[in-house]
Amino acid sequence: MIKDPSVVIIGSGPSGFYAAESITKKLNSDIDIIDRLPIPFGLIRGGVAPDHQTTKKISLFFTKTAKKDQIRFFGNIEIGKDILIEELRDIYDVVILAIGSELDNKLEIEGSNLKGVHGSAEFVGWYNGHPDYVNLDPNLNTNNVVVIGNGNVAIDIVRVLSKTSEEMTESDIPEYALNTLIQSPIKNIHIVGRRGPVEAKFTNVELRELGNLKNCVPNINNANLPNKIDGDFSDRDKRLIKKNLETLKSFSSLEKQNKEKELNFIFFHKPIEIIGDNKVESIKFEKIKLENSQLKGTGEIVKIDCGLVITAIGYQPRNILDLKISNGIVENKNGRIDAGFYAVGWIRRGPTGVIGTNKVDGELVAELISKEFKNQSKKGRISLVDIIKSKNLEATSFEDWEKIDSYEKKKAKEPAPRKKILSIKEMLNICKI
């Protein structure tokens, strides 16, 4: 019997699973999904904020995909270390890169290496219990925090910094992170953007949440909010911008009441220097203005005292492969890197969009594969299993993940949905039970 091409997907986040799902609708291929961690779902588990459990439910859809007869999950295998990309290309007809952009873009200013400066991938990973970041130990023993960024990740961070323990009871935030956050003396949180409120990438749902925090009031200077929307925007974008401006304006009328924390929105400020003796003490910004759609410095300098700076200014891929990467994107043409080699998700198009944006990438690559391949010529899964055995790799299966999933849910204290296992070693031990 002639089989469809063998397929392996590197990465088990949304882009990887959407690609797998789309391929099952086009081809009767064996599809293997490989991940560096013993567990699947990538950004869903390690990137989505712990208090956004509704968003995390997309993993239920991916679970249905994972349980299809065509698909196998192989966790705890690091491509570039345990198995080389060329080894996979030798044994599979199709290799799909879905590794995302795991690492933070660096803030290229003086003082950015001081203790107390963290990228959002690190900080979000820390409060999500990602094994890579559980030992981050951010300095939350400070009154003032500065978060740099004008997107949803920055919004997530300031919301988690602002919430009470009661507001986090239905989240899956690890105890160590929650305890550190609620014991913190933080009083002032500044969310600072280089551009203005019109250009901000917040979605309105996330922005509105900030107006309903129990112990934190958002502040904004209405003078920084335009009365009209200038610029070359689509009608849809104009509607979204208008909603955001209305929400921001509503913040100015909120009363502080007895709330202990303040969240200050600051626009048109460019970071120029972080000051401190070994650790962060303050950060300097230059005020900027928008002239003829161009950002220009004013020469006016503003200093904000703080003990913690978190940058949410974009991401870049982990350098695990000998690939041509430019501006955080692997060189590709509509998802095609080379013959039999494709890319989906952030590694294809950059770290933009929401989780569902990856669905289009999956559909695109499935269409390409169906046109370029007619049948299987390489053994795929059989050869992968042989390599795993020959190298004595401790690969995990989706059934192993289900053991971990069940264990985490049983250990949780209601109404928390789960108590996350925080180390790879413990995950692997649970798999053996």
Ordered structural domains, the chain, with CATH? 7-102+317-431 (3.40.50.720), 104-314 (3.50.50.60)
**Range scoring the smallest mean pLDDT among 57-66, 191-200, 288-297, 416-425:** 288-297
Report how far apart, in Å, the C-alpha atoms of 273 and of each of 115, 197, 268, 276, 314 are: 14, 23, 16, 10, 19
Token code pair at residue 285 = 């910004």
| Mean pLDDT for the chain overall | 95
Q: If we measure between CA atoms, which residue out of 328, 346, 338 comes closest to residue 94?
A: 338
pLDDT of residue 87: 97
* Spatial contact of 309 and 142, defined as CB atoms under 8 Å apart: no
Note the pLDDT of residue 166: 97
What is the average pLDDT across 268-297?
94
Q: Is pLDDT of 81 > 70? A: yes
pLDDT tens across 89-146, in order? 999 999 999 999 999 999 999 999 999 999 999 999 999 999 999 999 999 999 999 9
pTM, whole model, 2 decimals? Answer: 0.96
Q: How high is the pLDDT of residue 1?
A: 58
Pairs from 65-68 (Cβ < 8 Å, separation ≥ 24): 65/17, 65/20, 65/21, 65/24, 66/17, 66/20, 66/33, 66/40, 66/398, 67/398, 68/24
Q: Could you read off the pLDDT of 388-415 as tens digits, one per residue?
A: 999 999 999 999 999 999 999 999 999 9
Mean predicted confidence (pLDDT) in 145-160: 97
183-209 burial code (b ≥16 CB/10 A, e <16)? ebebebbbbbbbbbbbbbbbebebbbb
Are the beta carbons of 99 and 347 closer than 8 angstroms?
Answer: yes
CA–CA distance, 428 with 77 (Å, rounded to integer)? 12
- pLDDT, tens digit (0-9, with 9 covering 90-100), for 335-353: 999 999 999 999 999 998 8
Q: How far apart are CA 225 and CA 154, in angstroms?
A: 19
Share of the chain above pLDDT 90, in %: 90
Q: What is the pLDDT of residue 2?
A: 66
Specify whether the CB–CB gap between 59 and 41 falls below 8 A: yes
The alpha carbon of 283 is separated from its chain's Cα centroid by a whole number of angstroms, namely: 25
- Quick one: pLDDT at residue 374? 84
Q: Could you tell me how far CA 119 lies from the centroid of its own chain?
A: 12
For residue range 247-268, what is the model confidence (pLDDT) as tens digits? 999 998 888 889 999 999 999 9
Residue 319 has pLDDT above 80, yes or no: no
pLDDT digits (tens, 9 = 90+) for 34-55: 999 999 999 999 999 999 999 9
Share of the chain above pLDDT 70, in %: 99
